[in-house]
Structure 1
C-alpha cells in the first residue's frame, strides 16, 4: 500500500469525508489530508510539497514508495473547468497535482523537476474506456479533485497508459523572500536559504505593530536554534527546503512578535552587496 498525503484547499468536513472515503475505496487506505487554507495557500503548498518529497530522502536503506496529491485550483476563467491536472515522479514517489506553477516552483528550483505530464480529463477517461455517462459527470463536476485526481493517481501507479503531454513548469515571477510556512511554534519559514537574504551577520526585518506601524529590527544570524539567545530573534538555517531560512525567537513566537502571516515579505530586498530580489 502507498502512504498518501493530500494537500488541498477543499478542507471542510464534508469534503474531507468524501476525499477520505473515495481514496480509501481506490487504494485501501485513507490519506493524511493537509489544509491549504491560509492567506497564501500557493506559498504554503509549494514549501510543503518540497518538504514532503525531501522527507523521502536519507532513509538509511530501502524505503517504500509514496503518493502526494496536491489540489489548488482557483477558477480564474483561464481554463474551461479549472486548471488541468498533472503528474510526475521523484524517484519512486508519485506526485499528482493541479498544474499550478507557483505551487510547483520550489520543486522545479530545488529538485530539478522542470517538466510534468499534463492530462486532459476527457481524453484520459475516453482512452481508459470509462463509462461515457460517468465520464461526463467527472468532466463537468465542480469537485474534480475528488472524482478525477485520485483516479489519475491510481491509474498512474498501476502503470496504465494515461494520455498526457510533457510540459515545462513555467518560471514564475520572483516573489523575493516570503514567509511560506509558519509552524506551531511561530517560527517563520522562508522560501530561500539565509544567504539569499543577507551575506552579512544580520538582516533587517520589518516588525508590524497592531496599530499598523512598521519598524525595522536588526536580527542576527545564527548557525542553529540553540545558538540563539533565549527570548531573542534570530535568523537560522531551518528544517525546511534545503536549509531554508527561518526567523525564530527562542522561547517565543516570531510570527506574533513581528506580526507576520504566510505570504508576507518582511525582508523587502536581499541585503547582500550587489544582490537584488
Structure 2
C-alpha cells in the first residue's frame, strides 16, 4: 500500500507519479492532494492520521509506504527542501524535511529524528552516471524523479547515505484549523481539555473583516450536539484532536474559518 500526499496534484502530475511509482513497485499509489490555503497543516494532520490508522488492526497487517511532498522553493535550500525518511514500526515514510509538516508526528508519535538525504549523494551511491545525477538533482519535479527512488531503495533495504537529524521542535502556538472536512467540521491541530457542558471561546470571522469571540459549548461526542448548533467535541483525527462542529451544518462557513487560521486563542500568562 502506497499513499502519496503532495501539493503537485494536477492531472498531469498524478499521471506521471502513478506511472513511475507503478513501474518501481508494481502498484500505483493513492494520491492525496495537499491543497487549500494551508497545505502544510493539511499534510501534517493527514500524515499523522495515516500512521494512526495502522493501529488496532486486530492482526499484524502489511507494511505500508507513505510519501509526502510539500516543498516550496523559498530560497533557503538549493532547489528546494531536502527529503528525509523514517520508520514508524514497520511502516516507511519519505517526506520533505519540513518542520511544520513533521510537527504532529514529532509531538504525538515521538518521531524526534529522521534521516535526511542529499539527492546528488544518494543517486550517485545508487550507481547513476553523472549526467543522470544532475538531471534528477536539478529537476523542478524532484518529488517525481527522486522520492519514488528513495522510497524503493529504503523499502528494499539498500544502503542510502543519510544524516540522522533532529526534527525541529516548533514554539508553542495557538490552536489552528488543520483541515476542514467535507461536512464543514473544523479539525484542530491538537487535543484540548474539554469539559462537557463547559464552553470555549471561538474566534468567528465576520464578513466585514472583524472578529467576534463566541462561547461554544463542549460536548462528549458529535451526536450530543443539538442540531444546527455549534459545538466543541473530541474528533476523529489525531489522538482525539478537538473539532469545532455544527451538527447538520458547516462550522467553517458559520465561523468564517479556513485551514491555518487560529480558532481558539489561548490565554497566555503575562511575563
Decide whether the 8 Å contact of 1:76 with 1:82 is kept in 2. yes
Decide whether the 8 Å contact of 2:197 with 2:219 is kept in 1. no
Q: 1:100 to 1:60 in 2, by over 3 A?
A: same
Do structure 1's residue 188 and structure 2's residue 205 form an aligned pair?
no
Do structure 1's residue 265 and structure 2's residue 256 form an aligned pair?
no
CA drift at 1:194: 2.2
Do structure 1's residue 256 and structure 2's residue 257 form an aligned pair?
no
- What is the 5 A alignment of 1:7-22? 7-22=5-20
Local SS of the residue matching 2:63: coil
User: Residues of 2 paired with 1:61 and 1:100: CA distance?
Assistant: 33
**What is the RMSD of the two structures over their aligned residues, measured on CA atoms?**
1.6
CA drift at 1:209: 2.1
User: Residues of 2 paired with 1:77 and 1:186: CA distance?
Assistant: 35
CA drift at 1:135: 1.5
User: Residues of 2 paired with 1:224 and 1:105: CA distance?
Assistant: 26
Query: 71, 90, 93: which one pairs with 2:91?
Result: 93
- What is the 5 A alignment of 1:33-44? 33-44=31-42
Decide whether the 8 Å contact of 1:74 with 1:83 is kept in 2. yes
Q: Which runs of 5+ in 1 are unaligned?
A: none
Q: Which region of structure 1 is more displaced relative to structure 2, 78-87 or 124-133?
A: 124-133
- What is the 5 A alignment of 1:1-277? 3-195=1-193, 201-270=198-267
CA drift at 1:199: 9.6
TM-score by length of 1: 0.94
User: Residues of 2 paired with 1:96 and 1:15: CA distance?
Assistant: 18
Q: Which runs of 5+ in 2 are unaligned?
A: none
CA drift at 1:174: 2.5
Decide whether the 8 Å contact of 1:194 with 1:236 is kept in 2. no
User: Residues of 2 paired with 1:97 and 1:266: CA distance?
Assistant: 28
Query: How many equivalent pairs are there?
Result: 270
CA drift at 1:138: 0.2
Q: 1:132 to 1:75 in 2, by over 3 A?
A: same
Local SS of the residue matching 2:75: coil
Q: 1:88 to 1:204 in 2, by over 3 A?
A: same
Q: 1:121 to 1:237 in 2, by over 3 A?
A: same
Local SS of the residue matching 1:194: coil
